Amino acid sequence: MDIKLEQLTGHEKKSRVGKINISVGESVSVGQTLLQLESKKGNSPFNSKYKCVINEILVEEGQEIELGQCLFKVTAENAGKEKPKLDYFGGMIYGKKEQLQADLLIIGAGPGGDVSAIYAAKRGIKTVIVEKLSMGGTCLNVGCIPTKALIKSSEVFHNIMKAEDFGITVKDIQLDMAKVIDKKDEIKNTLVSGIDYLLSKNNVRIIRGSASFVNDKQVLVKNGKDEYTIEATDTIIATGSKIANINLPGIDHNFVLNSTSALKHKENISSITIIGGGVIGMEFAFIYSNFGIQVNVIEFCDRLLTMVDAEVSAEIKEIAMDRGIGVYTGAKVTRIEKDQSGKAIVIFEMDNAEKFITSEKVLVAIGRTPNIDDLEIEKAGIALNEKGKGISVNEYLQTSAEHIYAIGDVTNRIQLAHVASHEGIAAVDHILGTPSHVDYGMVPNVIFTSPEIASVGLTEEQAVLKNMDISISKFPFQANGKALTMREEKGFIKLIKDLSSGKIVGASIIGPEASALISTLTIMMNSNITEEEIIHTIFAHPTTGEAIHEAVLGFSIGALHFDE
């Protein structure tokens, strides 16, 4: 039989043979490395899928090879031996069963799980990871990355529509949502294959299937008829979250989307009503608005994005309304109906009156819940938190079963991909006996609206609740040269200083490149860099980063390039 090159990382069609690890006549086992593949993205092992004997090696070290090319001729060890028909059909009916042992088992291959696995493997831990869907979890497949791909497409479309502002005349602009979705999928698929590649390169065993605990030492993984029983010294649960179910009459209409189905929706639409003015709702609001679609947002709370500083919330509301986005806060959606033409009618209560909005589609963007339904954690003695929503963990991410850890959304603490990744590293460090702590007070948060919003540390409201004596400095992007050249002069940087300690304890940004600028402020605050050190740091010109320098100056002599 032939062993061929069937898959390469990303969209690559060719690779190069590195070191060949076996010789003619050698018996090899399933999973044994036959040779190394070299590509632009690095080296990766090419492993055998069969227990076989190598008859002929058809390639040489350094040779360029392509997809579909035959690399080895082999004889399967059991080839030619007669098998009872009962065994054959028994295998088809009952599937295969395999028992595995590992130092570390990770359940879930999202941003928490895959980072944990790669980090652990690099630290010498024999690691197995289980994933029932696609590598990368919610973030990579139906969350962070796909939405950012749509945001970029929408911003390109919006900028073309506003080309006159840059002295450019463009005619006949067409939106093809199907192609937008296809481009998004290309990016997603490249990154998913990249995760596969990195896990394999670091010798992490990947098991596909759905995991459930047998006891606190064993996990059963089922994939169709195949079953794997895995016994591990330590386990990390990184199963993430799923879209929360809500009891809303009419939510089952075929024109109602959620954040997952919206990422697959290839039809051009003219209008959409978004239920929920949180992160997901507002990111989609600007995506659709940038594409020229009429958008209305209905939010139950009295303001949008309640997790951000109140001034930032007010600013994004004003910007949204200037863009033509309808915003209804303090509003309770009671039901969704269909009119005679098949359009959606969203009925809601606001200001003691019943109101309604008609649109082509509805997007429900209200919350996520920890993904624990099928884990059978009770068999492992794992406790939930006080509210019963999420797995309870201590400061080292240990559950009530101390050799089992939980990270990311499944703990229902901070639902951010980068928090899950950092928690994964902290959990592995604790397993290795070098415990580290996650500083949850210094977690940067980014919301990809137009313009972007980012924050780290305390908001003004949080500082006031802590009875802190504070000073506030703001610098508007309308006074920043780079922002003006980008035609993105709305927004500001807001810094909060604790007067008792002299430290900057909070930063909020709404404006161009906020997602990049927040890292500078996070490092600044996390490293306790002083005002004087920042003031005497040279910031490149012209950049949006200069707004940070100006905002810090605001605590002393005042900004140099803005005077209220």
User: What per-residue string of b and e applies to 280-299 under the rule 16 or more CB within 10 Å gives b?
Assistant: bbbbbbbbbbbbebbbbbbb
Q: Is 515 annotated as a binding residue?
A: no
Question: Which residues contact residue 544 at a Cβ distance below 8 angstroms, ignoring those fewer than 6 apart?
Answer: 477, 480, 482, 483, 511, 512, 513, 516, 517
| Rounded Cα gap, residues 249 and 337, in angstroms | 8
Which of 33, 39, 35 minimizes the C-alpha distance to 64? 39
Q: Is 62 annotated as a binding residue?
A: no
Structure tokens at 138: 């919610």
Q: Are 297 and 320 in contact (CB under 8 A)?
A: yes
Q: Is 326 annotated as a binding residue?
A: no
| Rounded Cα gap, residues 404 and 430, in angstroms | 11
Q: Is 354 annotated as a binding residue?
A: no
Q: Is 42 annotated as a binding residue?
A: no
Q: Is 240 annotated as a binding residue?
A: yes
Structure tokens at 560: 């140099």
Q: Is 282 annotated as a binding residue?
A: yes
List the beta bridge partners of residue 406. Answer: 237
Active site residue 541: yes
One-character DSSP codes across 413-474? S---HHHHHHHHHHHHHHHTT------GGG--EEE-SSSEEEEEE--HHHHHHTT--EEEEE
- Strands 294-298 and 326-328, how do they pair? parallel
List the beta bridge partners of residue 129. Answer: 106, 206
Q: Are 277 and 362 in contact (CB under 8 A)?
A: no
Q: Is 367 annotated as a binding residue?
A: yes
How many angstroms from the chain centroid is the CA of residue 546?
Answer: 29
List the beta bridge partners of residue 257. Answer: 363
Q: Are 347 and 273 in contact (CB under 8 A)?
A: no
Q: Are 338 and 255 in contact (CB under 8 A)?
A: yes
Q: Are 131 and 206 in contact (CB under 8 A)?
A: yes
Q: Is 278 annotated as a binding residue?
A: yes
Check 253, 541, 549, 561 and give the catalytic one. Answer: 541
Which of 537, 539, 550, 483 minimizes the C-alpha distance to 514? 483
Q: Length of the chain in residues, anyone?
A: 564
Q: Is 277 annotated as a binding residue?
A: yes
Q: Is 329 annotated as a binding residue?
A: no
Q: Residue 407 has what DSSP assignment?
A: -
Q: Is 60 annotated as a binding residue?
A: no
Residue 499, judged by CB atoms within 10 A of its CB (0-12, 13-18, 19+), counts as exposed
Which of 154, 455, 153 minimizes the C-alpha distance to 285? 154
Phi/psi of residue 434, nearest 5 degrees = -125, 70
Q: Is 59 annotated as a binding residue?
A: no
Residue 211, judged by CB atoms within 10 A of its CB (0-12, 13-18, 19+), counts as buried
Q: Are 280 and 339 in contact (CB under 8 A)?
A: no
Annotated binding site for FAD: 148, 239-241, 409
Annotated binding site for NAD(+): 276-283, 299, 367
Residues with catalytic annotation?
A: 541
Annotated binding site: 148, 239-241, 276-283, 299, 367, 409
